[in-house]
Copies of this chain bind each other. A is one copy, B any other.
Amino acid sequence: MLLSPPMRRAKVAAAKKKTAYHHGDLRRALVTAATAAIEEAGEGALTLREVARRVGVTHPAAYRHFEDKTALLAAVAEEGYVVLADAIERALGAASSRPRERLRALAVAYVDFAVRSPAQYAVMWGPRFNTDGRFPSLEAAIRRVYELVAREVERGQAEGDLRPGQTRDLAIGLWVVGHGYVELVARRRIRVKSREKAIEYFLTLFEPWLDGIAVKR
């Protein structure tokens, strides 16, 4: 017997709801739920059991997709780096071709991501992922962000706007300034009234650093 279109749709939806987690969706659902939970209550408050509750599954189910709690957090961190790299690429795509302006756009995209998703950003700098080689895809995601920074610095050097010499040192320096600023804001060592003000004040601190690595002419 044929079902009318509305009923068929309802059936499909019900079947989907019931079996969705049998098709590899649980992994995604757990990462998404964990990210949301962290952004709401902070990283310290995150429990595997709470994440499972949010997704509507018993907590040992998570172990089918993640070796342990650290692996779940690593997935949250990795997703963060992917989103960050995408945001930086978008910002660079919209920027002019003047190296100094491009570095500014890159740094603003970085700070903007961090102040929008402070808890996820904190996970991305968590102390758990130092064990070498445990999370290679996380390390690749980090490297992608670093390469974006290094490429822009290289471009600036090639055009003669930035100091010649070790590209890496300038790229690391840029990362230091960006991350250091974000941390001071996140830990309330600096009080800012809004995300806009956070970026505005960042540029105040960033300009002298740019001056320091620029070629005077």
Contact = CB atoms under 8 A, between A and B. Distances in A.
Interface string A110-145: 000000000000100101101000000000001000
Interface in A172-190: 172-173, 175-181, 183-184, 186-190
Contacts of A6: none
Contact of A184 (B42, B163, B176, B187): B176
Contact of A190 (B172, B180, B189, B190): B172
Nearest to A214: B212
What copy number does this chain have within its complex?
2
Interface residues of A, number: 36
A204 B169 contact: yes
Contacts of A130: 187-188
A128 B187 CA distance: 9
Contact of A127 (B44, B169, B170, B177): B44
A176 B180 contact: yes
B172 A205 contact: yes
A211 B213 CA distance: 8
Contacts of A204: 169
Contacts of A205: 169, 172-173, 176
A26 to B, nearest CB: 26
A24 interface: no
A210 interface: yes
Contacts of A176: 176-177, 180-181, 184, 205
Nearest to A166: B204
Contacts of A56: none
A179 to B, nearest CB: 5
Contact of A177 (B44, B180, B187, B189): B180
A184 B190 contact: no
Q: What are the 8 closest A-B residue pairs judged by CB atoms, nearest first?
A: A180-B180, A212-B212, A176-B180, A208-B212, A211-B212, A173-B205, A179-B180, A176-B181
12 contacts: A42-B127, A43-B127, A127-B186, A127-B187, A172-B205, A175-B189, A176-B177, A176-B180, A176-B205, A178-B180, A209-B212, A212-B212
